[in-house]
């Protein structure tokens, strides 16, 4: 499922320009959308799921403009919005059944079987008859995921899905998405939690203040950070100095001081060892260091 | 199909969500509980079983859905607005919005979900009703009406409420404002709009008459359909508009297009229905205006008198074809070159012939102007044949009524019933003379003089062709000749009526009168419910008829009396020119189906029987079932056909209307007619007097202005002559009161000249001798003159054209016990004077008997036995001297202008009170009840006794050195300020201000000073005072007088206290014999008094002194406030509203010079 985003702009009535000339292209598999809060991720998501019109530019799915082919897009879409806390007085299974029915599952028996399968998959089968508004926060997110998955969608859009989840649930969620991405499904995962963009993401984009600052594979993003992540053993005095001048991304207390990881082009004053960066290092390097350097240039 | 699948899905889950909301649950539970109790209370055998509802089985679903619909229409506002609010706020719904469904599917799903839920609740409540319906032994089951009312009432209301709520929320996006607008609309509908403009704005069918008849079903189906479809279409249109305004990117152009197209179609449908609804309302008004306009065009023309009418009518579904062979005479004193006939404007004349020759004619709306091609000399006869066909236009019948549902309410419990004057359908026909279904010489309505009436006694023959399954009913003997019903009335009639339907009949012949009950097949429920009296029935009917004949001093003039069941919607408005209503026709009474809307049958016979039986058992009273049924039957018949009172509220005031089924007209209106070209109201005046129609009494007057009909009439006549008032076209209630006062005066005048008994005997014979004849009033005058040597005709000039009224002052009656032979008699003397410039008459009656005389014992020497009912306010004695008998009066006194008389009268029984009716006069109240307090024993007959002795000079009422300022005098300042709230001004709501006279309500007094009438109050002619709500002293009234001579004055205030039957000032609340009593005025009682401290401020030379008078301890009459030195122009007394009591009362102030 090829998705092309061309020259996408979104300006809200209050003048806030949420998206600026976004051009993106990705296909089947998981695509990560990373960026800090307010970067424009949700606006982009809402445009993709046809909840909102762009101010200009188009989104093509399999070459078709989604604004002109909303019906087709919606029939292959599963969406989990960022804010998915409030429910009406429906029971857990009823909510899934409602979503499934609207997703085109007309056969009641099949639908109910699918409802139970999904509930089982997200670990909610035991609470299928509980009112959805009485579920815990994590359960509600899981129910949100289940409803996004019902009806075998070919495009799944998940906006900040792991916010508020405990580590176990986050892992569980990532696993579900990983499994799904093995199928012929396009998953767009928007998050500000770098860890959510796992190695399973075939592609990713980095948004900042409405602009696309990076588009590529996660490895490419990591490559940018190679040689720029250092590990140091510091005394408390040194630690304060480092904090002042470098981006500290990890601090572990050890005997006689701190083991600190920093992102920087070089750390000449201190005894540092370069380490292999991960995606999180790369994100920090990119957002805090490279972009800053680009601006200065 | 995806469309239906999606709609169904949304509907199912939205309904589930709504069903689980606490608001809906509470509403449902409350509704289920309330309606279960309501159904048990109304319809179950243990309930109240009001006959109005029980008789017509469709009223069960109607009552349920009518009430539920009102509640639902409000609840749905909250729920619908809440739904969109939730959609707007909650991101959860976005997961649904990204699903593949169109906005149309989503909004429709939501609408259907809510609709389905509410209709589900309606159905459950209907099922509860159905259970009661099945349990009830006295109701049939009309299953279809369950469906009809669900569709008619609930669906359009819910859909419109939903659509409007959706739409407003989409536009305004503010739940609070949406609530306010929608609740405001609901309130506006219930309190203001429901009856206006043909109920076009009544979206919840609050006032729309949807009551069904068991005979004809919905009589106004077109009105109902248009009005309800208007809201169905408008609601649908608004729902579709919501689809377009819905804040979600649309996905299906087809659905958007469908929404636009259907929104336009539905809106157009709504416009068409609104147009139909309004144009139907407008056309009725226009029609009435047209009738009045046509009347103005022709009212000055002369008409022939119809002597014979041979009518052939063919009933063809919703149309009729007819020809009328009319024979008439020119009773005018000039030649007639054209003949004018009135015919219902729905009927079109196709030809007029005379002797086989076609005549020229012109039909101008309801008037046919026929050119006979020759002149008809006075006294000559002619005949014509008029052929016509068409339908009946009912708007024509009562052009002076606007059909305003609020002003003339016709309801079964809370349910409005459509008012119809005629029926012309395939299965049922009812045509009364009021519809002018055959040509009649004369107009339906004379705009310049609505009290004018033209009555012809005509020999009718009626031939009717109709469906072979139907039975035609009319007056006279009936024959069926080859499928044609031929009716030949035995006597001339004022009009002929035709009813056609699936009728059955029972006949009972008693004392040469045939009583025929015509009922629709299966409606003879009364036979079963009163089965035990069948063998006693002749005796009962005979007794009732004898009572009626005695009451009217004349025999029932017809050989038959047909009681015909007609659809409940049949309704006649009171007419200005007669006390007779269309429900009563010569030898016929048109009764509502199953007697359902009769006030006299609020509970069915079986229910009355059960209730009374239970009560009697409780009180250990023994009565046989038969006796009980006899009692129930008697009560029913007497209160339906004999009772003369029929009160109704119009804008908070009680209006006394002629009773719809009263048999009174049979004894005058259908039998006699006096006419006059100079005084065209004369017949109405005669009828009003002879019908003995009563005026509102105790109960009703408590909640109205406390004035009798006579008083109201006299207050109006103070400002204008009889003629002038008639030209002003007053309200029908007013005109009837004036006709009655004028009639009472005229007849008492004649009686005063020729003798009460003598006139009664002569006049009784006279009207019997002139039965079914129209008598010129001048001939009547001649005959009277010939018999008694008195001409009343010359008096009519002043009686009709001048407005001056006499005014009477009465002195305290002196009663002496005298001995005449061996018998003790009572000589009553009193002084009466008339200081005004025109002569007047008043009549006298006495309440006699020992102490406590009234209902419990004693003898009431007056016809109105209700005087003893006590407990209310004023009790009118306005019947005194009214009617053929006038047996209630002892004496009629005539007093010339500026004349005083000492009146003497000897009574056999001890008088308790002197009852005076001043008839046409300035005296308000015109009926005075003067108690006799002292009886002196003389033991010998006064040799100086004279029945009437003129006093020369006339005794002065004023005492030298005494200045009295009453609240009616110029020196009184009522001090009322009208302050109108801005909101009230915005909505055009008038501020409550002092108007006329109002009865004092003990529990609520106005914050302004309001005048009130009581015989205990002070006044020259008008015995009035002013009252207001007890307050802090921020409001006051002032009495001021010019003092010519400075000096010391005693200052008095007048305290008006009612005098009860046996106890005077300060006594107990009125005993049963009391002519007055109860809440109408300040009567001392054991209950906490509404009247307490009263604060007077006396202005005098040394300043102002405040005197507090304790009302309860004050004497009835003049109470001294103190002695003060007053200089010229300084006399002023104020009364403030400061009081701990509920009411403050101000009447008159007196200054008396101290010598």
CA A172 to chain centre: 15
State the greatest distance between any 2 C-alpha atoms of chain A, in Å, as a whole number.
69
> What is the complex's ipTM, to 2 decimals?
0.90
Distance from CA of A118 to the nearest CA of B (A): 16
Q: For residues B258, B263, B266 and B267, what is the CA-based torsion angle, rounded to 10 degrees?
A: -160
Q: What angle do CA B229, B234, B238 make, to 5 degrees?
A: 150
CB contact under 8 A, A102 and B99: yes
Residue with tokens 């004022």: B494
Output the CA torsion sign for B446, B450, B451, B455: positive
Gyration radius of chain B's alpha carbons: 34
Is B1099 in the same domain as B999?
Answer: yes
Domain termination residue (choose one: B463, B483, B501): B501
Terminal Cα distance for chain B, rounded: 109
Output the CA torsion sign for B105, B111, B115, B117: positive
CATH number for the domain harbouring residue B342: 2.60.40.1730
Give me A48's structure tokens.
Answer: 């993709």
Assess if residue B386 is contained within a domain. Answer: yes
Q: Give B776: exposed, middle or buried? Use CB within 10 Å, 0-12, 13-18, 19+.
A: middle
pLDDT above 60 for A193: yes
pLDDT above 70 for A297: no
**A93 vs B: CB within 8 A:** no
Assess if residue B74 is contained within a domain. Answer: yes
**A101 vs B: CB within 8 A:** yes
Residue of B nearest to A107 (CA): B5
Distances (CA, A) of B754 to B338, B747, B763, B784, B824: 43, 10, 11, 9, 30
Is B946 in the same domain as B966?
Answer: no
At residue B1135, the 3 state secondary structure works out as: strand
β-strand partners of B370: B339, B361
**How far apart (Å, rounded) are the C-alpha atoms in residues B1070 and B1080?**
11
Residue of A nearest to B105 (CA): A102
Residue with tokens 């062979």: B325
Q: Give B355: exposed, middle or buried? Use CB within 10 Å, 0-12, 13-18, 19+.
A: exposed
Output the pLDDT for position B854: 42
The answer to whether the CB of B581 falls within 8 A of the CB of B591 is no
Assess if residue B635 is contained within a domain. Answer: no
The answer to whether the CB of B790 falls within 8 A of the CB of B754 is yes
β-strand partners of A274: A230
Distance from CA of B173 to the nearest CA of A (A): 17
**Higher per-residue confidence, A282 vs A11:** A11
Residues of chain A contacting B246 with CB distance shorter than 8 Å: none
3-state secondary structure string across B866-894: HHHHCCCCECCCCCCCCCCCCCCCCEEEE
Is B194 in the same domain as B276?
Answer: yes
Output the pLDDT for position A159: 85
**How far apart (Å, rounded) are the C-alpha atoms in residues B1128 and B625?**
79
Entry pTM: 0.83
CATH number for the domain harbouring residue B824: 2.60.40
CB contact under 8 A, B100 and A81: no
Assess if residue B1016 is contained within a domain. Answer: yes
Domain that holds residue B303: 299-501
Residue of A nearest to B12 (CA): A98
Is B930 in the same domain as B982?
Answer: no
Residues in chain B: 1155
User: Mutating which of A42, A49, A68, A101 best tests the B interface, going by the most B Cβ atoms within 10 A?
Assistant: A101
The answer to whether the CB of B1135 falls within 8 A of the CB of B1051 is no
Distances (CA, A) of B930 to A243, B553, B833, B847: 112, 30, 16, 10
**How far apart (Å, rounded) are the C-alpha atoms in residues B965 and B970?**
8
**How far apart (Å, rounded) are the C-alpha atoms in residues B1133 and B1051?**
9
Residue of B nearest to A151 (CA): B99
Residue of A nearest to B87 (CA): A88
**How far apart (Å, rounded) are the C-alpha atoms in residues B186 and B191?**
9
Q: Give B85: exposed, middle or buried? Use CB within 10 Å, 0-12, 13-18, 19+.
A: middle
The closest alpha carbon to B701, from B557, B878, B488, B437, belongs to B878
Is B482 in the same domain as B355?
Answer: yes
Output the pLDDT for position B873: 33
Long-range contacts of residues A132-137, Cβ cutoff 8 Å, at least 24 apart: A132/A87, A132/A88, A132/A90, A132/A91, A132/A92, A132/A94, A132/A95, A133/A86, A133/A87, A133/A88, A133/A89, A135/A87, A135/A92, A137/A85, A137/A164
Per-position DSSP letters for A107-146, written without gaps between them: -HHHHHHHHHHHHHHTT-GGGTTSBGGGS-HHHHHHHHHH
CB contact under 8 A, A50 and B251: yes
- Which of A84, A87, A98 faces B9 most closely, judged by CB atoms? A98
**A110 vs B: CB within 8 A:** no
Give me B800's structure tokens.
Answer: 């009709």
The closest alpha carbon to A190, from A156, A222, A142, belongs to A156
> Domain residues of chain A, as ranges?
1-76+154-216, 90-149, 223-296
3-state secondary structure string across A141-190: HHHHHHHHHCCCCCEEEEECCCCCCCHHHHHHHHHHHHHHHCCCCEEEEE
Output the pLDDT for position A140: 86
Distance from CA of B13 to the nearest CA of A (A): 7
Per-position DSSP letters for B431-475, written without gaps between them: E-GGG--S-BSS-S--TT-TT------BEEEEEEE--TT-EEE-S
Give me B915's structure tokens.
Answer: 């009852």
The answer to whether the CB of A242 falls within 8 A of the CB of A262 is yes
**How far apart (Å, rounded) are the C-alpha atoms in residues B513 and B28?**
58
DSSP state letter for A246 = S
Give me B587's structure tokens.
Answer: 């030898």
Q: For residues B399, B405, B407 and B409, what is the CA-based torsion angle, rounded to 10 degrees?
A: 110
| Positions in chain B whose pLDDT score sits under 70 | 81-92, 644-658, 692-706, 850-881, 884-887, 939-945, 957-958, 976-995, 1058-1088
Is B1112 in the same domain as B984?
Answer: yes
- For chain B, what is the domain count? 4
**A82 vs B: CB within 8 A:** yes
3-state secondary structure string across A249-260: EEEEEECCEEEE
How many C-beta neighbours within 10 Å does residue B1117 have?
Answer: 13
User: Mutating which of A82, A97, A98 best tests the B interface, going by the most B Cβ atoms within 10 A?
Assistant: A98
Q: Which residues touch B1040 (CB under 8 Å, ≥6 apart)?
A: B965, B971, B972, B973, B1131, B1132
Output the pLDDT for position B81: 67
**How far apart (Å, rounded) are the C-alpha atoms in residues A34 and A206?**
5
Backbone angles phi, psi at B793, to 5 degrees: -55, -45
Assess if residue B649 is contained within a domain. Answer: no
Domain termination residue (choose one: B249, B280, B311): B280
Is B371 in the same domain as B442?
Answer: yes
Query: What superfamily in CATH does domain A1-76+154-216 come from?
Result: P-loop containing nucleotide triphosphate hydrolases (3.40.50.300)
Gyration radius of chain A's alpha carbons: 21
Assess if residue B19 is contained within a domain. Answer: yes
The closest alpha carbon to A233, from A250, A220, A245, A216, belongs to A250
Residue of A nearest to B106 (CA): A102
**How far apart (Å, rounded) are the C-alpha atoms in residues B17 and B82?**
12
Q: Give B373: exposed, middle or buried? Use CB within 10 Å, 0-12, 13-18, 19+.
A: exposed
Per-position DSSP letters for B1081-1100, written without gaps between them: S----SSPPSB-EEEEEEEE
Domain termination residue (choose one: B280, B307, B323): B280
Distance from CA of B157 to the nearest CA of A (A): 26
Is B148 in the same domain as B108?
Answer: yes
Is B320 in the same domain as B254?
Answer: no
Q: What angle do CA B934, B936, B937 make, to 5 degrees?
A: 150
Output the pLDDT for position B1058: 64
DSSP state letter for B1070 = -
Give me B990's structure tokens.
Answer: 């008038």
CB contact under 8 A, B95 and A79: yes
- Which of A102, A144, A148 faces B6 most closely, judged by CB atoms? A102
């Amino acid at each position: 499922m090829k998705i092309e985003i061309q020259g996408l702009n979104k300006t809200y009535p209050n003048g806030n320009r949420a998206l600026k000339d976004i051009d993106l292209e990705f296909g089947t598999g998981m695509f990560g959308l990373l960026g800090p809060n307010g970067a424009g991720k949700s606006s982009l998501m809402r445009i993709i799921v046809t909840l909102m019109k762009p101010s200009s530019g188009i989104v093509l799915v399999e070459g078709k403009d989604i604004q002109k082919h909303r019906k087709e897009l919606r029939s292959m879409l599963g969406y989990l919005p960022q804010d998915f806390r409030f429910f009406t007085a429906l029971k857990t299974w009823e909510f899934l059944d409602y979503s499934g029915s609207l997703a085109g599952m007309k056969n009641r028996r099949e639908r109910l079987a699918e409802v139970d399968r999904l509930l089982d998959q997200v670990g909610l089968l035991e609470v299928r008859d509980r009112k959805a508004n009485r579920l815990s926060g994590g359960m509600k997110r899981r129910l949100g995921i289940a409803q996004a998955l019902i009806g075998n969608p070919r495009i799944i859009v998940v906006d900040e899905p792991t916010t508020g989840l405990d580590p176990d649930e986050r892992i569980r969620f990532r696993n579900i998405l990983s499994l799904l991405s093995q199928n012929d499904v396009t998953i767009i995962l928007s998050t500000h939690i770098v860890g959510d963009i796992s190695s399973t993401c075939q592609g990713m984009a980095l948004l900042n203040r409405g602009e696309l600052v990076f588009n590529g594979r996660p490895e490419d993003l990591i490559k940018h950070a190679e040689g720029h992540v250092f590990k140091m053993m510091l005394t408390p005095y040194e630690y304060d100095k480092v904090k002042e001048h470098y981006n500290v991304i990890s601090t572990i207390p050890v005997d006689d001081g701190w083991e600190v990881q920093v992102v920087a082009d070089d750390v000449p004053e201190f005894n540092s060892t370069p380490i292999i960066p991960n995606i999180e290092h790369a994100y920090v390097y990119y957002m805090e260091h490279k972009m800053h350097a680009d601006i200065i240039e | 199909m995806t469309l239906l699948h999606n709609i169904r899905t949304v509907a199912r889950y939205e309904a589930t969500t709504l069903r689980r909301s606490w608001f809906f649950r509470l509403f449902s539970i409350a509704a289920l509980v309330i309606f279960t109790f309501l159904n048990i209370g109304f319809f179950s055998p243990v309930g109240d079983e009001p006959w109005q509802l029980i008789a017509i089985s469709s009223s069960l679903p109607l009552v349920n859905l009518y009430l539920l619909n009102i509640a639902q229409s409000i609840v749905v506002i909250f729920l619908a607005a809440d739904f969109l609010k939730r959609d707007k706020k909650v991101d959860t719904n976005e997961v649904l919005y990204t699903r593949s469904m169109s906005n149309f599917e989503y909004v429709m799903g939501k609408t259907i979900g809510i609709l389905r839920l509410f209709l589900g609740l309606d159905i459950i409540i209907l099922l509860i009703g159905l259970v009661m319906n099945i349990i009830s032994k006295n109701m049939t089951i009309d299953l279809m009406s369950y469906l009809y009312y669900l569709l008619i009432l609930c669906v359009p209301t819910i859909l419109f409420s939903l659509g409007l709520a959706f739409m407003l929320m989409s536009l305004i996006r503010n739940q609070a404002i949406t609530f306010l607008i929608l609740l405001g609309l609901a309130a506006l509908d219930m309190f203001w709009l429901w009856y206006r403009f043909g109920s076009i704005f009544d979206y919840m069918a609050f006032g729309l008459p949807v009551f069904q008849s068991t005979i004809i079903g919905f009589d106004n189906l077109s009105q109902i359909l248009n009005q309800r479809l208007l809201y169905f279409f408008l609601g649908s249109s608004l729902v579709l508009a919501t689809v377009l305004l819905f804040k979600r990117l649309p996905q299906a152009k087809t659905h958007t297009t469908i929404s636009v197209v259907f929104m336009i179609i539905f809106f157009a449908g709504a416009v068409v229905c609104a147009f139909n609804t309004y144009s139907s309302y407008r056309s009725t008004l226009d029609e009435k205006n047209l009738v009045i306009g046509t009347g103005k065009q022709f009212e000055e023309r002369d008409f022939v008198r119809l002597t014979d009418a041979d009518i052939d009518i063919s009933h063809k579904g919703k149309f009729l074809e007819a020809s009328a062979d009319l024979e008439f005479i020119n009773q005018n004193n000039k030649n007639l070159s054209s003949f004018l006939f009135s015919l219902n404007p729905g009927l079109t004349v196709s030809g007029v012939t005379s002797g086989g020759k076609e005549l020229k004619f012109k039909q101008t709306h309801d008037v046919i102007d026929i050119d006979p091609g020759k002149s008809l000399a006075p006294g000559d006869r002619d005949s014509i044949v008029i052929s016509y066909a068409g339908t009946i236009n009912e708007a024509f019948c009562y052009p002076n009524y606007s059909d305003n549902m609020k002003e003339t309410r016709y309801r079964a419990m809370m349910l409005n019933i459509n008012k119809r004057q005629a029926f012309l359908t395939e299965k049922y026909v009812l045509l009364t003379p009021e519809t002018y279904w055959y040509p009649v010489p004369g107009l339906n309505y004379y705009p310049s003089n609505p009290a004018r009436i033209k009555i012809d006694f005509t020999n009718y023959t009626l031939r009717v062709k109709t469906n072979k399954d139907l039975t035609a009913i009319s007056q006279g003997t009936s024959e069926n000749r080859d499928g044609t019903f031929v009716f030949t009335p035995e006597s001339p009639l004022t009009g002929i009526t035709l009813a056609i339907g699936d009728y059955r009949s029972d006949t009972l012949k008693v004392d040469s009168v045939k009583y025929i009950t015509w009922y629709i097949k299966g409606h003879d429920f009364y036979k079963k419910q009163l089965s035990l009296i069948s063998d006693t029935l002749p005796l009962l009917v005979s007794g009732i008829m004898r009572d009626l004949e005695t009451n009217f001093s004349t025999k029932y003039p017809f050989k038959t009396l047909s009681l015909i069941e007609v659809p409940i919607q049949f309704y006649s408005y009171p007419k200005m020119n007669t006390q007779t209503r269309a429900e009563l026709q010569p030898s016929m009474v048109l009764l509502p189906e199953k007697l359902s809307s009769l006030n006299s049958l609020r509970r069915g016979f079986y229910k009355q029987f059960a209730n009374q039986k239970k009560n009697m058992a409780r009180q250990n009273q023994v009565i046989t079932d038969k006796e009980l049924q006899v009692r129930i039957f008697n009560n029913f018949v007497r209160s339906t056909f004999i009772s003369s009172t029929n009160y109704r509220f119009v804008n908070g005031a009680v209006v006394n209307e002629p009773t719809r089924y009263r048999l009174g007209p049979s004894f005058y209106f259908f039998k006699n007619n006096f006419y006059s070209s100079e005084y065209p109201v004369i017949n109405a005046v005669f009828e009003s007097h002879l019908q003995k129609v009563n005026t509102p009494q105790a109960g009703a007057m408590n909640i109205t202005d406390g004035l009798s009909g006579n008083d109201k009439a006299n207050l109006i006549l103070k400002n204008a002559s009889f003629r002038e008032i008639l030209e002003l076209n007053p309200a029908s209630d007013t005109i009837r009161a004036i006709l009655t006062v004028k009639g009472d005066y005229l007849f008492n005048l004649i009686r005063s000249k020729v003798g009460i008994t003598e006139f009664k005997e002569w006049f009784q014979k006279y009207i019997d001798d002139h039965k079914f004849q129209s008598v010129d009033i001048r001939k009547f005058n001649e005959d009277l003159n010939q018999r008694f040597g008195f001409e009343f005709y010359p008096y009519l000039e002043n009686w009709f054209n001048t407005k001056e009224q006499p005014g009477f002052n009465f002195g305290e009656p002196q009663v002496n016990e005298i001995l005449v032979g061996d018998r003790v008699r009572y000589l009553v003397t009193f002084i009466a004077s008339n200081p005004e410039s025109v002569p007047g008459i008043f009549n006298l009656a006495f309440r006699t008997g020992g102490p406590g005389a009234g209902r419990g014992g004693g003898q009431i020497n007056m016809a109105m036995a209700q005087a003893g009912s006590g407990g209310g306010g004023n009790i009118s004695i306005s019947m005194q001297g009214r009617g053929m008998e006038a047996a209630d009066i002892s004496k009629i006194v005539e007093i010339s202008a500026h004349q005083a008389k000492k009146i003497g009268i000897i009574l056999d029984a001890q008088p308790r009170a002197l009852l005076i009716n001043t008839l046409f006069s300035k005296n308000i109240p015109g009926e005075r009840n003067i108690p006799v307090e002292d009886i002196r024993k003389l033991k010998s007959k006064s040799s100086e006794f004279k029945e009437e002795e003129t006093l020369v000079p006339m005794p002065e009422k004023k005492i030298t050195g005494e200045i009295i300022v009453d609240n009616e005098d110029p020196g009184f300042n009522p001090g009322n300020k009208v302050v109108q709230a801005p909101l009230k001004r915005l909505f055009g709501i008038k501020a409550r201000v002092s108007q006329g006279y109002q009865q004092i309500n003990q529990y609520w007094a106005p914050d302004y000073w309001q005048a009130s009438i009581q015989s205990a109050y002070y006044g020259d002619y008008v015995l009035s005072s002013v009252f207001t709500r007890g307050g802090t002293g921020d409001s006051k009234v002032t009495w001021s007088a010019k003092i010519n001579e400075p000096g010391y004055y005693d200052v008095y205030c007048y305290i008006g206290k009612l005098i009860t039957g046996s106890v005077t000032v300060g006594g107990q609340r009125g005993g049963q014999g009391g002519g007055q009593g109860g809440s109408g005025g300040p009567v001392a009682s054991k209950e906490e008094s509404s009247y307490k401290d009263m604060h007077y401020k006396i202005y005098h030379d040394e300043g102002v002194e405040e005197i507090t008078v304790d009302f309860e301890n004050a004497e009835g009459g003049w109470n001294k406030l103190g002695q003060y030195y007053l200089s010229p122009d300084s006399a002023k007394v104020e009364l403030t509203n400061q009081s701990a009591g509920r009411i403050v009362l101000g009447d008159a102030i007196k200054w008396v010079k101290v010598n």
